[in-house]
Amino acid sequence: MQDYINVAESVLANNLFMKQDEQILIITDTELKEIANIFYQAGLKRKNETVLMEMTPRLKSGEEPPQTISEAMKAAEVVLCITKHSLTHTSARKNASSAGARIATMPGVTLDMLKNGAISADYNEVVERTKKYCELLNQGNQVEIKKGDTSLSFSIKNRTGIESTGVFQEKGEAGNLPSGEAYIAPIEDSANGTIMIDGSVAGIGVIEEPLTLEIEDGKLITASGDKGKELLELLGDGDGRKIAEFGIGTNNKARLIGNVLEDEKVFGTVHIAFGSNKSFGGETEANVHIDCVIKNPIVSIDNKEVIFN
């Protein structure tokens, strides 16, 4: 256990840049309280004022936490969200960031992920690589993703890319930990085409039989394949089916393991998501956010192919 506490101490020092006089709030649920306690012990060992709050697990990523937790997040200086499902794209996270909290979300993190894979990356390299791909997004207007005989295109015109580096130094900075992605909210009604998902899906895991998604005017219409019905059920019938995100993985140590926290960071993959995106520049609030990872796609921005190297 001490090895894990040492890793957690390193994360607090080198990813969150914890100062001695800062207070840390750890949000967890009954599913991940064991891992949350590791960070709680690390905070105490560093002699930071450390508070641990436990809630009932949310049913899906993007679902809001209880109001009590939302208010506590706004009052904290540093927040760790160690929960089964992601709080990244919630109003609670957005409001806490606006209040100045530095927030790292770690949905579904495992003990293995604390020692191997994305967490072990050289984060100076991750920062540089993420900035490079985010600049491509910020300069672009139209994106096309090709995979096999499928193709999906959408507009990102006048939307702002987000650098999720896993490093949080300034007030209000937030994102996944471990991390490594450049992402953006597409224009909600602009996506058309079909796309093959052959990596993983949040809440489902690694995909053994690829899914083919049909998207029309920004909304997911059909999802074929073994897990297609399950994906549609996760998203519901309403705004959860709207395209929400396009992301590029930038962490060369990340692995495809069936946990979207790490899967979507794999360098050489991209992902699209459906549901909420208002927390990062979009217009949709859907109380759900589901990411779908694509391995080794051909991506073009304004008809220029994006090179992964």
Domain layout of the chain by residue ranges: 2-115, 120-305
pLDDT confidence of residue 305: 98
pLDDT confidence of residue 218: 98
**Please, which pLDDT band fits residue 226 given cuts at 50, 70 and 90?**
confident
Residues 6+ apart with CB under 8 A from 274: 220, 235, 240, 241, 242, 243, 244, 288, 289, 290, 292
pLDDT at position 288 over 90: yes
Q: Which fold has domain 2-115?
A: Thermophilic metalloprotease-like (3.40.1830)
Could you read off the pLDDT of 102-124 as tens digits, one per residue? 999 999 999 999 989 999 999 99
pLDDT confidence of residue 193: 98
pLDDT confidence of residue 1: 84
β-pair type (243-249, 269-275): antiparallel
Q: What percentage of the chain reaches a pLDDT higher than 70?
A: 100
Mean pLDDT of 215-241: 96
Could you read off the pLDDT of 243-284 as tens digits, one per residue? 999 999 999 999 999 999 999 999 999 999 999 999 999 999
pLDDT confidence of residue 119: 93
pLDDT confidence of residue 265: 98
Q: What percentage of the chain reaches a pLDDT higher than 90?
A: 98
pLDDT at position 225 over 90: no
**Please, which pLDDT band fits residue 47 given cuts at 50, 70 and 90?**
very high
pLDDT confidence of residue 277: 96
For all residues of the chain together, what is the average pLDDT? 96
Two tokens, residue 120: 């072990």
Mean pLDDT of 201-228: 96
**Please, which pLDDT band fits residue 229 given cuts at 50, 70 and 90?**
very high
Note if the bond before 66 is cis, omega within 30 degrees: no
pLDDT confidence of residue 153: 98
Return the residue matching tokens 């209040």. 99
pLDDT at position 309 over 90: no
Work out the burial of residue 3: count CB atoms within 10 Å of its CB; fewer than 13 is exposed, 13-18 middle, 19 or more buried: exposed
* 174 vs 108: CA distance, rounded Å: 17
- CA quadruple 65, 71, 74, 75: dihedral positive or negative? negative
Could you read off the pLDDT of 156-184 as tens digits, one per residue? 999 999 999 999 999 999 999 999 999 99
pLDDT at position 291 over 90: yes
Phi-psi region of 203 (alpha: psi -120 to 50; beta: other; left: phi over 0): left
DSSP 3-state of 34: helix
Mean pLDDT of 5-26: 95
Give the DSSP H or E segment for 2: helix 2-14
Could you read off the pLDDT of 54-93 as tens digits, one per residue? 999 999 999 999 999 999 999 999 999 999 999 999 999 9
